[in-house]
Copies of this chain bind each other. A is one copy, B any other.
Amino acid sequence: MAMVCLSDFEAYAKKYLPKIAWDFFAAGADDCSTRDENILAYKRIHFRPRMLRDVSMMDIRTKLLGTEISFPVGIAPTGFHQLAWPDGEKSTARAARAMNTCYIASTYSTCTLEEISAAAPGGFQWFQLYIHRNRAVSQSLVQRAEALGFQGLVLTADLPYTGKRRDDIRNGFRLPPHMKLKNLEGAFEVCKMSLLDPSVTWNDIYWLRSLTHLPIIIKGILTKEDAELAVRHGVQGIIVSNHGGRQLDGGPATIDALVEVVEAVQGRVEIYLDGGIRKGSDVLKALALGARCVFIGRPALWGLAYKGEEGLQDVLRILQDEFRLSMALAGCASVSEIGRHLVQFSKL
């Protein structure tokens, strides 16, 4: 089986993962409209490619908050990587470092932050945080992450409660007994997400700020109003995200929401995006609309499911090659040449 594009990895994962794991990774909330919109929305954006520009020397590097990555695609925070590959998040960390990009490790990892950090020393890693009712748990996680050398703190804002994912309910999804939410062991029983705090508000950003010197990136913003609030509360970055369509079904595709967020922020902080990235040209569209970088969620899991660290590297390398080629064919030799002029929204 030739692995030519990301859909090949998807097909592989669907075929070889246990159904309950596939369903968990694939799940969207309710009718999965938003999950699917994340992908469809890219088809309504057309390039305006420019010709006869010297694209012999391609530079696809960019910087996230000052740290260089090899191309503008990182690994979004997703949970339970051991469901996809025995080594779990350790493999993810190694692949991200090998490809010189950023990995956002999830609170719901099946490896400890210490294991993740140790698996890829010197790797560029951010830590994704949910805020728990017991603030001491969150405080401890933040301080462990900072001590271990994680370089950013990603606060997920869109999960006061878990979205309704029908297949998980039908399957009675829970982690197999030999897997643990290791970062939370001792704090509370596994998989009780209801211990998350639904009373979190913007003021808690100040509390987080008081705990750490790490830059704070807020994930899950979809409106200009919230983008403005994020900037005012002093975050360093915004990830436009709808949690892969797993939380509120009926929200906008992230690529559509990106437009209003970028317009509101006016360059005051960096803006990233996740959701629906399946091809290098999707990355190019997101950058043209103002994202500095995108993050992949499910495709990373498909790569892990295929061959662990190596499989995820394959996925990243394909995206990298496709992104470089799309840039060249659109007439851009470096990411600094990518801009709003490069795309138009289809009238259809």
User: Which A residues, 160 to 215, have Cβ-Cβ distances below 8 Å to chain B?
Assistant: 160-161, 163-164, 166, 169-170, 197-202, 204-205
Chain B's nearest CB lies how many Å from the CB of A49? Answer: 5
Partner of A52, one of B30, B204, B251, B285: B204
* A198/B56 in contact, CB under 8 A: yes
Binding site of A, secondary structure by majority: helix, strand, loop or mixed?
loop
Closest to A30 in B: B279
Q: Does A51 contact B (CB under 8 A)?
A: yes
Taking CB atoms, residues of chain B closer than 8 Å to A30 are 5, 279, 281, 322
In Å, the complex CA distance between A43 and B40 comes to 14
* B55/A160 in contact, CB under 8 A: yes
Closest to A281 in B: B250
Partner of A250, one of B205, B247, B285, B321: B285
* A161/B329 in contact, CB under 8 A: yes
Taking CB atoms, residues of chain B closer than 8 Å to A45 are 250
* B5/A248 in contact, CB under 8 A: no
In Å, the complex CA distance between A328 and B158 comes to 10
Chain copies in the assembled complex:
4
* B199/A51 in contact, CB under 8 A: no
Q: Does A48 contact B (CB under 8 A)?
A: yes
Taking CB atoms, residues of chain B closer than 8 Å to A5 are 30, 164, 166
* B4/A169 in contact, CB under 8 A: yes
Taking CB atoms, residues of chain B closer than 8 Å to A229 are 52
Q: Does A89 contact B (CB under 8 A)?
A: no
Q: Does A87 contact B (CB under 8 A)?
A: no
Chain A contributes a number of interface residues (CB within 8 A of B) equal to 66
Taking CB atoms, residues of chain B closer than 8 Å to A247 are 329
Among A15-23, A216-224, A265-273, A308-316, which stretch is in contact with chain B?
A216-224
Partner of A158, one of B44, B49, B202: B49
Q: Does A135 contact B (CB under 8 A)?
A: no
Q: Does A46 contact B (CB under 8 A)?
A: yes
Residues of A near any B CB (own CB < 8 A) = 2, 4-5, 30-31, 33, 42-56, 157-158, 160-161, 163-164, 166, 169-170, 197-202, 204-205, 218, 220-223, 225-226, 229, 247-252, 279, 281, 285, 321-322, 325-326, 328-330, 344-345, 347-348
Closest 10 CB pairs of A and B: A56-B199, A248-B329, A51-B157, A56-B198, A54-B199, A47-B251, A250-B281, A46-B252, A48-B223, A4-B166
Known: A5-B30, A51-B157. 16 other contacts (CB 8 A): A2-B169, A5-B164, A5-B166, A31-B279, A47-B251, A48-B252, A51-B221, A52-B200, A52-B201, A52-B202, A52-B205, A55-B161, A160-B328, A161-B325, A164-B322, A252-B344
